[in-house]
Structure 1
């Protein structure tokens, strides 16, 4: 069986797509990995046919493709590879539009509101004056986020108007996209919960703690992971979030509040290096096992 791994970058920038980790697991299970990189793909329509090439050669038959959308910018320009691959008959795991919803932080807030997923108090605004107004209504401290980004990049903390205003001025002057303002959840004590979901099931979870002097829990930025036993309420919320975002494979980030868990973020390209170390669960194995299951249906 041939199992593709689709990274949305050239190979030298695909570290956080975990292509090699997944490829090694595919080989260990007796199958053939096919590494795909979107810059090397070309889609050519002539004479009523769609021809797809990869690195200049016709794309071979692949039983199933695992999408690893490791881009940081606006996901709209990354829709076409999965769309056209599916048009050509390839089965994509975490296809369009699921990764578009998950990679777009603005859409995450809209989708969560539409589907009744609990979140911290939030606002979306484009001008400094509206950002300041939103922060007043939410209450300090607040967290600012840019519309697109991963690994904690584009996340800012402000505990007063004096701190917030220059940050808001900077973000709105350099970025035409709206800015997200969120309540800072002090109850969470600089911790969150990463839940890894595959095929509607929780595979593993861990508690992440931000490093000293930071609020960001991302382990790529120095955050640390520890084993964590989910409550039924947390498990149900993580599974509901994955379902609403149509994610076959997803990382759901939750935070604790006195009122119960809330969704912080949904990830279509969740990293798993620290999670595997912390829990001794083979996340890559779970991903590949699901791909095999899909391909043999």
Structure 2
């Protein structure tokens, strides 16, 4: 097979791990910066080019799209989808999972527990509404935050007002969420490939921080998941249409909460912590998905 990895840099750990896994299984792999891609639609035919050069035929696309270029990335994936190329993440699933509010709405509608969440209007901060529905402290999170950036904690009513006033002024939209005290600065990262949990780890925030992201200095260790956590994680990926997903959860007093579902989860932390060859699992999924798509196309033509 010829597998195309869409990634900003060959130097990234995840990109290297995926490329090695592809080559170990005898596949040809090409890595292209998705920002270099032009899409051509001419005379009813679609083409994908990089720096003006045709990419040519590929059997599968593995997108590693950053959150800042989600819309562009989705358009590129859609072009490949319409050209009947197997993609590990669909264009619709990428867009849906990158919208933090839409993600939470979908999870809640499928009875997947999430922290109590409030999205304030664009006009003013409603003190009475906030006081009646959420308790301090609260997490204030930008709707386009990533790697723990744009995530704040407010311990007083004055802090909430000050932060939200600043965000209003900067025209930034944010959500306010229940702070789960019992998590003690820990969260779970559950890695799912094709409807199966392939690895899981617990991340502990650095001393003095509440954010457990490894990019923020957090520590990771292996973890045993409860049956409930496994079921919620698998269901979260399924209802969002993600075949590859990193589901983040917090352990509460009565049950665990899903706080985020990542469409392009990093591999470095999970592979180094658990020793699981997650990239290899992803390539196995690509092989199965490609052959299933090829067979379905052949059956359709008969």
Quick check: TM above 0.5?
yes
Conserved 8 A contact 1:135-1:181: no
TM-score normalised by structure 1 residue count: 0.92
Which shows bigger deviation, 129-138 or 118-127? Answer: 129-138
Residue 49 of structure 1 pairs with residue 53 of structure 2: no
Please say which of residues 228-237 and 254-263 is displaced more in the overlay. Answer: 254-263
Q: Which residue of 2 aligns with 1:211?
A: 206
- Give the C-alpha shift of residue 133 in structure 1: 4.3
Q: Is the 8 A contact 2:5 2:31 kept in 1?
A: yes
The correspondence for 2:112, drawn from 89, 110, 117, is: 117
Cα distance change, pair 217–72 in 1 and its aligned pair in 2 (3 A): farther
Residue 184 of structure 1, CA deviation: 0.4
Query: 2:145 aligned with 1:149, yes or no?
Result: yes
User: Is 1:62 matched with 2:58?
Assistant: yes
C-alpha distance in structure 1 between counterparts of 2:226 and 2:127, whole Å: 36
Which is further off, 76-85 or 204-213? Answer: 76-85
User: Judging changes above 3 Å, is the alpha-carbon distance between structure 1 residues 283 and 134 closer, same or farther for their aligned structure 2 residues?
Assistant: farther
Q: What is the aligned counterpart of 2:244 among 234, 242, 249? A: 249
Pick aligned residue for 2:232 from 226, 232, 237: 237
Name the residue aligned to 1:24. Answer: 20
Per-residue CA deviation, residues 72-121 of structure 1 (Å, 9 max, x unaligned), is 36x34442111111112211111111111111111112211222211111
Extract unaligned runs of 5+ from structure 1: none
Partner of 1:2: 2
CA distance in 1, matches of 2:127, 2:220: 34
| Residues 196 and 56 of structure 1: CA distance in aligned 2, closer, same or farther (over 3 Å) | same
1:67-216 pair list within 5 angstroms: 67-72=63-68, 75-127=70-122, 129-130=124-125, 132-136=127-131, 137-176=133-172, 178-216=173-211
